[in-house]
Structure 1
Amino acid sequence: MSKKLHISLLALAVTAASSSALAVEAMSIKLADGLEFTPTLKVSESYDDNFREVESNEESSWITTIAPTFTLGAEGRKSAYKLSYSAVSDTFHSSHEDNNTDHHLTADAGMEFNDRNRLKLNAGYHDVEETAGLDQKLENDMYNTKNVGGVYTFGAESARAQIDLGANYEELRYTNSNRLNADKERDTTALKSTFYYRVAPKTKVLLEGRHTDYDYVSNDRLNSTNIGLLTGVTWEATAKTTGTAKFGHEKKDFDDSSIGEKSGGMWEVGATWEPRTYSRFSLNTRQGFDEGDSGASTIKTQTTTLSWNHDWAERLSSNVSYTRMDQDYQDIEREDQIDTFGIGLTYEMRRWLDVGLGYKYSENDSDAANESYERNIYALSFTASL
């Protein structure tokens, strides 16, 4: 994953975290037995004082976002299917040349053949344009990703042991003019196997192996293979907490002998503590290698997010979140420390209508020239359904 794509997904996660745990109770249209159609619409008005994430000559704008989502779901006795499409249209009132519409199409399927055999499949297509990033000095980053994958599980839910076998294939392609960003285009093939062993009624220990192959379309220098081995534990509703913690080691071996091999510790932890039914604290932290950018062969990234969701009343809730991302660029002299703070308030005006207020502040403290920035986003949103 490139730096900008990684940060884009982080921003999406933080934006989502800045809204409340409350959500519109969308009603579906029954098309046939077991087949339902669900439309939702989100409209927001936001002010962004540095939408290009630059150190100097910042540009600001009011931005109107219209985001409809359409979901088609079908359920059988031992299967479930979902097809979703969403469009996110941004209108920049101070910079109309940056107006853009992102498209997201996903498909999911789940099948239970018997008590011991289950299969989950997923596929997706995402067409995105970003105003923030290194190459925006020339034009916005425009790219699309296509992926298909799945996880096969052997072992009954009540069994002492289970195993997951997963695979995913993804293509990243840029649609900029004059081959801009073509050196970042790649195909990624990932395989993962996880063995679970129950040690208590709601607790399992795990052992996980990963193998990921990065094949760049034109930039052969960055072709590499990542191998990771982790061990950990997963638990459900134990002492009011739920979560998974994995710790291990990762090795990244480049085809180019001049770069060689990178290795280091890796971890992934996600936990939620619910001291009261109306209050939830979450911790998510990760360390690992991300794909290189700005001349780096790879980026060693450590990310930690803390969030608090609280329901103040039946219709009113809030969320506060803080994220710290440390990025150590390998084979070049650059380190970034990105801090992001978000706060949001959601009021469920009607069953079918939520109103949200949000604020997000982000700051990058980089030791590379012209890479530091500060950014403030203020937003008012309306989410509606049938």
Structure 2
Amino acid sequence: MSIKFNASTLAAAVSAALCANAWALEPQSIKLTDGLTFTPTLQVSERYDDNFRAAENNEESSWITAITPTFTLAAEGRKSAYALSYTANSDIFHSSHKDNNTDHHLTADGVFEFDARNRLKLNAGYHKVEETASQDQNIENDKYSTANVGGVYSYGAESARAQIDFGANYQELRYQNGNNLNADKERDTSALSSTFYYRVAPKTRALVEARYTDYDYVTNDRLNSNNVALLGGLTWDATAKTSGTVKIGGEKKRFDDSRLDDKSGSMWEVGVDWKPRTYSTFSLTTRRALDEGDNGASSIEAQSTTLSWEHEWLDRLTSTVSYSYTDKEYQDVDRDDKIDTFGLGLTYAMRRWLDLGVGYKYSENDSTAVGESYKRNIYMISVSASL
């Protein structure tokens, strides 16, 4: 069995992940040599954000022009495939030019199939980001970068009753703020995982997954810790109009600092798609886990649920409706955030290479911490284009 990657499909997937409303594009790739293609895409959007700092008081609003080009190089062989993608997301704030910024995203992926039983996926990335909605917004926007490298080795034929995955990932988080702002958040994260799959039906597999994650802070030794998680569940594909993965288990965080109590609790990750019709999809994702701390918290017990509906009304007209609820309980500090987010989107595929989109997003944070609650409305129109 050989791996086949279609460059146009790959470019569309990358663009969709980074550019809202770009998913419907069918980009035409430029063939550079045999097996090597280049795919450019571009999104230009205009949005009005009535509270772009996500502040409780003294809200600031602005029209924001976003220009987002994506460039993808893809190569494939008989048993391997590669992709290198770069995206620049430039935001121009018409009412606050000091907040103009450009985010950079560079990713590389490789897939190898050595034989029917042995496969390897590798990935690496570098992301440089500036956020106007940040904890230290009254001083300076959060400016940070992440760099990661990782991979998953899989043993077992696709048709076999049992398979096993071994994964590893390393990530560095660094801030570029002045005067050591956010320096206490800088950390190195090393993660290992193993997942065992056992086929219980033609399109359904049971799974058991173990994870180990080590957090090593550059200066804030107080938060050095490791997380251990054990999950079990099912994954299935296109069974009775549904597909998805359900993982349920528990997680424990152990701190190196004996002055901090270890944390533990239930954990789950669920993602399910239901397609009652070929042109209509309902998606449910929900997650509960212990996240890293912020604003003085040793950790955050986070639980989130998102429900979305995507419907193709006509061959070229598609709508998306989504609602999400997030509850963040900050550990060892008195703070609990409850965030509601509602979104609407409409995409018109004018041409194979051209999409027009309009969207609206409302978010509200009800926080027990003073000054952390907010309401925010974003209205957007966009044009996404490719060759």
- TM-score, with normalisation over the residues of structure 2? 0.95
CA contact (8 A) 1:232 1:245 kept: yes
- Superposition pairs of residues 89-238 of structure 1, within 5 angstroms: 89-238=90-239
**Aligned residue number for residue 69 of structure 1:** 70
Say whether 1:302 aligns with 2:303: yes
Deviation at 1:226, TM superposition (A): 0.1
**Aligned residue number for residue 265 of structure 1:** 266
Deviation at 1:240, TM superposition (A): 0.3
Deviation at 1:258, TM superposition (A): 0.7
Deviation at 1:18, TM superposition (A): 11
Deviation at 1:351, TM superposition (A): 1.0
**Aligned residue number for residue 247 of structure 1:** 248
**Aligned residue number for residue 362 of structure 1:** 363
**Aligned residue number for residue 6 of structure 1:** none
- Tell me the SS of whatever aligns to 1:207: strand
Deviation at 1:105, TM superposition (A): 0.2
Counterpart residue type for residue 234 of structure 1: T
- Tell me the SS of whatever aligns to 1:51: coil
Counterpart residue type for residue 343 of structure 1: L
RMSD of Structure 2 on Structure 1 (CA): 1.3
CA distance in 2, matches of 1:225, 1:351: 48
CA contact (8 A) 1:22 1:346 kept: no
Kindly tell me: are residues 19 and 41 of structure 1, through their superposed partners in 2, closer, same or farther at Cα, counting changes over 3 Å? Answer: closer
CA contact (8 A) 1:323 1:339 kept: yes
* Cα distance per residue 1:107-163 (max 9 Å; x no partner): 000000000000000000000000001111101100000000000000000000000
- Superposition pairs of residues 280-319 of structure 1, within 5 angstroms: 280-319=281-320
Counterpart residue type for residue 26 of structure 1: P
- Tell me the SS of whatever aligns to 2:296: coil
Deviation at 1:260, TM superposition (A): 2.3
- Tell me the SS of whatever aligns to 2:136: helix
CA contact (8 A) 2:107 2:124 kept: yes
Deviation at 1:20, TM superposition (A): 5.6
- Tell me the SS of whatever aligns to 1:134: coil
Counterpart residue type for residue 76 of structure 2: E
**Aligned residue number for residue 337 of structure 2:** 336
- Tell me the SS of whatever aligns to 1:97: helix
CA contact (8 A) 1:21 1:317 kept: no
Deviation at 1:77, TM superposition (A): 0.8
**Aligned residue number for residue 25 of structure 2:** 24
* Cα distance per residue 1:245-271 (max 9 Å; x no partner): 000000000001111210000000000
Deviation at 1:230, TM superposition (A): 0.4
Counterpart residue type for residue 59 of structure 2: E
For structure 2, the 5+ residue unaligned runs are 1-15
CA distance in 2, matches of 1:321, 1:82: 30
Kindly tell me: are residues 326 and 17 of structure 1, through their superposed partners in 2, closer, same or farther at Cα, counting changes over 3 Å? Answer: farther
Counterpart residue type for residue 162 of structure 1: Q
CA distance in 2, matches of 1:50, 1:206: 43
- Tell me the SS of whatever aligns to 2:137: helix
Say whether 1:85 aligns with 2:63: no
CA contact (8 A) 1:340 1:363 kept: yes
Counterpart residue type for residue 241 of structure 1: T
Aligned length: 372
**Aligned residue number for residue 46 of structure 2:** 45
- Tell me the SS of whatever aligns to 2:114: strand
CA distance in 1, matches of 2:57, 2:126: 34
Identity of aligned residues (%): 71
* Cα distance per residue 1:214-269 (max 9 Å; x no partner): 00000000000000000000001010000000000000000011112100000000
CA contact (8 A) 1:252 1:263 kept: yes
CA contact (8 A) 1:211 1:228 kept: yes
**Aligned residue number for residue 11 of structure 2:** none
CA distance in 1, matches of 2:19, 2:28: 24
**Aligned residue number for residue 322 of structure 2:** 321
CA distance in 2, matches of 1:184, 1:60: 28
For structure 1, the 5+ residue unaligned runs are 1-14
CA distance in 2, matches of 1:183, 1:332: 17
CA distance in 2, matches of 1:265, 1:351: 45
Kindly tell me: are residues 17 and 169 of structure 1, through their superposed partners in 2, closer, same or farther at Cα, counting changes over 3 Å? Answer: closer
CA distance in 2, matches of 1:16, 1:350: 20
Which aligned segments of 4 or more residues in structure 1 are displaced greater than 4 angstroms?
A: 15-22
- Tell me the SS of whatever aligns to 1:183: helix
- Tell me the SS of whatever aligns to 1:271: strand
CA distance in 1, matches of 2:349, 2:374: 35
CA distance in 1, matches of 2:74, 2:254: 42
Counterpart residue type for residue 312 of structure 2: D
Greater relative CO (CA pairs within 8 A, separation 6+): 1
CA contact (8 A) 1:44 1:382 kept: yes
CA distance in 2, matches of 1:18, 1:70: 12
* Cα distance per residue 1:84-127 (max 9 Å; x no partner): 00000000000000000000000000000000000000000000
Deviation at 1:16, TM superposition (A): 6.8
CA contact (8 A) 2:21 2:384 kept: no
**Aligned residue number for residue 383 of structure 1:** 384
CA contact (8 A) 1:19 1:343 kept: no
